[in-house]
Amino acid sequence: MICHDVTRFSDFDIYLFKEGTHTKLYEKFGAHIMQYQGETGVYFAVWAPHAKYVSVVGDFNGYNATAHPLKKREDGSGIWEGFSTDAKIGQTYKYHIITPYDTTLLKADPYAFHAEKPPKSASRIWSLQGYGWKDSQWMQRRAKTNIHESPMNIYEVHLGSWRRRDDGSYLSYTEAAKELAQYLVKLGYTHVELLPITEYPFKGSWGYQVSGYYAPTARYGTPQEFMEFVDIMHSHGIGVILDWVPSHFVTDGHGLIAFDGTALYEYEDPKKGYHPEWKSAVFDYGKNEVRAFLISSAHFWLEKYHIDGIRVDAVASMLYLDYGRKEGEWEPNIYGGNENLEAISFLKQLNESCYGTFEGITMIAEESTAFPGVTKPVYAGGLGFGYKWNMGWMHDTLKYFKTDPLFRKYHHNQITFSMWYAYDENFILPLSHDEVVHMKGSLINKMPGDINQKLANLRALFGYMLAHPGKKLLFMGGEFAQFKEWDFDGELQWELLDDPKHKALQKMLQDLNTLYKTTPALYRWDEKREGFIWLNEKDWERSVLSFARVAKDETIVVVCNFADTQYENYILPVPKSGKYKEIFNSQHSKYLGWDHYPVRVLQSKPMQCCGFENSLTITLPALSVIYLQLIS
């Protein structure tokens, strides 16, 4: 039985939907269990304005296309809806659509809360009720925290390949959370960033080819289990960042592509609506209903799943009409430029809406160009993100560390250049999944030398990264020097931790992360120029650089020797006179480095160097990074 007298839409909802400003469409569209005239059933609503006929088919009617037809609203919204007492929670369903061209489509629900486990593709009737959140203290604390003056050290994770069960099957959301939360606390991380868990058909896409923008993938469990994942993280003091993909979507037939037989969610012109590099469809950001669909998705994860931050993937591909396209494959905008003005407007609306609604969240852009003002407020002409990935730092730093130490002196500018633009945006320094796939090699295998030199270089890289202005991100496996490139279809090489050398690297990163979290000079003034002082950035011939990180009355001096040579009696300028105590040494023997000196406590002397009145005399081990704290 199907009833057409039921609706969840008010006139105001329709107005906001058409205007592109509705932010809670997940309360209206999709499949909702509700009561009508004393009977429990399921209300269905789908947007298909060009369809000739729409019905809902599923387990409850044997996928009969005529049993449960929906009715099109008469207000020009293009919404089809209906209420059935036959449908039950947990049953699968799709929309049967007859297009304007009399072809038939079977589509998953764009607003479904749950789906079949891939490779099956039907949506599943589900309720998000019934989970009792226990994170009220976390949410209250988050609302009061200024993340820009707080430590932010992110561990990037692909849930399907972090760990697996003994039989090779996936851990559930709950199983993964229990192990992962303890691991992150032990290693001193503040946040976990999940590669996309929004439902996706092809596991080889790692989640970046999305089919369900409102459903956590069924590979790892139910929506309530993902809620528990977030809750467990919060109970351990770990924030959760979700990788979210509004830049493009999968072209599988059951998804959003040509949803009602026309280019509904995507641009009609393939020069804008098809991404040749990724072979995926591009959202039509100029269509109000599409903007509302995407912004409601972001709100959905922030509200229903208590997500703490959203990392927007591939922002550069949204900003530029010629991204990934050759000459003749794109059309300029109305002003003759290559910017996608509609996407720019959408991103501003997205950030204003999310920041204006949810306290203490973080919006992050994965943006790889020099587009100005990515993290400036919208009112100041920016896009309104909180942070931007610093891809320039990542590329230059890895290129430098790949270079044999003998020749690094000729590439010194690669390691110092980032400070020229470090305060142009609010940056996150990423060593992400993209750097350990597609024949790029693992982090440890990017490093030159024998195994001891490789590990020393990697320790130095982490020491330099944690001291450089900007929040931090490291992809899983890097923390213990996984040898293999990341394999999404396996698990990390945990057996390497039986090797003392790999265990020592993990221990060093644990100590370094803890030091970072507890040392305000290393994070509080990340976005203020006065939080960083070059001491000597010009010692290129010895591949040494030194700087200070400061915050109020705290001063940390950092000296990096990236040469494979030990320097005795090195003159190190310092910003203030006094005693300096070594608080970190990447080459300490406890990390199986080759520095066997006791912890240094050095008194500065009135000795001019590099424009500073006081200096220290210190021995710099080869391939080392040392932190010295002013203690008096």
Residues 292 and 164 in one domain: yes
Give the span between the Cα atoms of 525 and 188, in whole angstroms. Answer: 20
- Tell me the C-alpha distance between 389 and 367, whole Å: 6
Same domain, 371 and 486: yes
The two most distant CA atoms of the chain are separated, in Å, by: 90
* Mean pLDDT score of the chain: 96
Q: What is the pLDDT of residue 600?
A: 84
How sure is the predictor about 372, in pLDDT bands with cuts at 50, 70 and 90?
A: very high
Residues 57 and 177 grouped into a single domain = no
Whether 139 is covered by a domain: the verdict is no
Q: Tell whether 47 and 90 lie within a shared domain.
A: yes
pLDDT bracket for residue 598 (50, 70, 90) = confident
Q: Is 167 a catalytic residue?
A: no
Tell me the average pLDDT across 176-195: 98
Residues 518 and 541 in one domain: no
Domain that holds residue 587: 529-630
Q: Is 425 a catalytic site residue?
A: no
Number of independent structural domains in the chain = 3
- Please tell me whether residues 505 and 545 are part of one structural domain: no
Of 156, 243, 313, 435, which one is the catalytic site residue? Answer: 313
Query: 208-219: per-residue pLDDT in tens?
Result: 999 999 999 999
Instruction: Give the number of residues written for the chain.
Output: 632
How far from 201 is each of 63, 108, 122, 197, CA to CA, in Å?
A: 21, 12, 11, 11
The CATH code of the domain that includes 497 is 3.20.20.80
In a domain, 477, yes or no: yes
For residues 397 and 472, membership in a common domain is answered with yes
Instruction: Provide the β-strand partners of residue 56.
Output: 95
Q: Do both 74 and 189 map to the same domain?
A: no
148 lies in a domain? no
Q: Phi, psi at residue 213, to the nearest 5°?
A: -80, 0
Q: Please indicate, yes or no, if residue 514 is contained in any of the structural domains.
A: yes
Q: What per-residue confidence (pLDDT) applies to 341?
A: 98
Instruction: Dig out the tokens for 451 from the structure.
Output: 């195994």
CATH of the domain at 599: 2.60.40.1180
Identify whether residues 534 and 567 lie together within a single domain.
yes
In angstroms, the Cα distances linking 21 to 14, 30, 292, 293 are 10, 18, 6, 9
Does one domain contain both 449 and 572? no
Residue finishing a domain among 501, 522, 543: 522
Of 492, 522, 552, the position where a domain reaches its end is: 522
Residue in the structure block whose two tokens are 């229990």: 178
Is the pLDDT score of 597 beyond 80? no
Name the residue with tokens 């790889």.
368
pLDDT digits (tens, 9 = 90+) for 287-306: 999 999 999 999 999 999 99
Mean pLDDT for 509-522 is 97
Residue with tokens 């760990």: 163
Tokens of 125: 């009737």
Question: What mean pLDDT comes out for the span 396-408?
Answer: 97
Q: Are residues 57 and 176 in the same domain?
A: no
Contact 580, 629 (CB under 8 A): yes
Residue 449 in any domain: the answer is: yes
Identify the domain boundary among 489, 505, 522: 522
Q: Which of 366, 425, 479, 526 is catalytic?
A: 366
- Crossing angle of the two packed helices 136-144 and 223-235, in degrees rounded to 10: 60
* pLDDT at residue number 596: 75
518 and 537 share one domain:
no
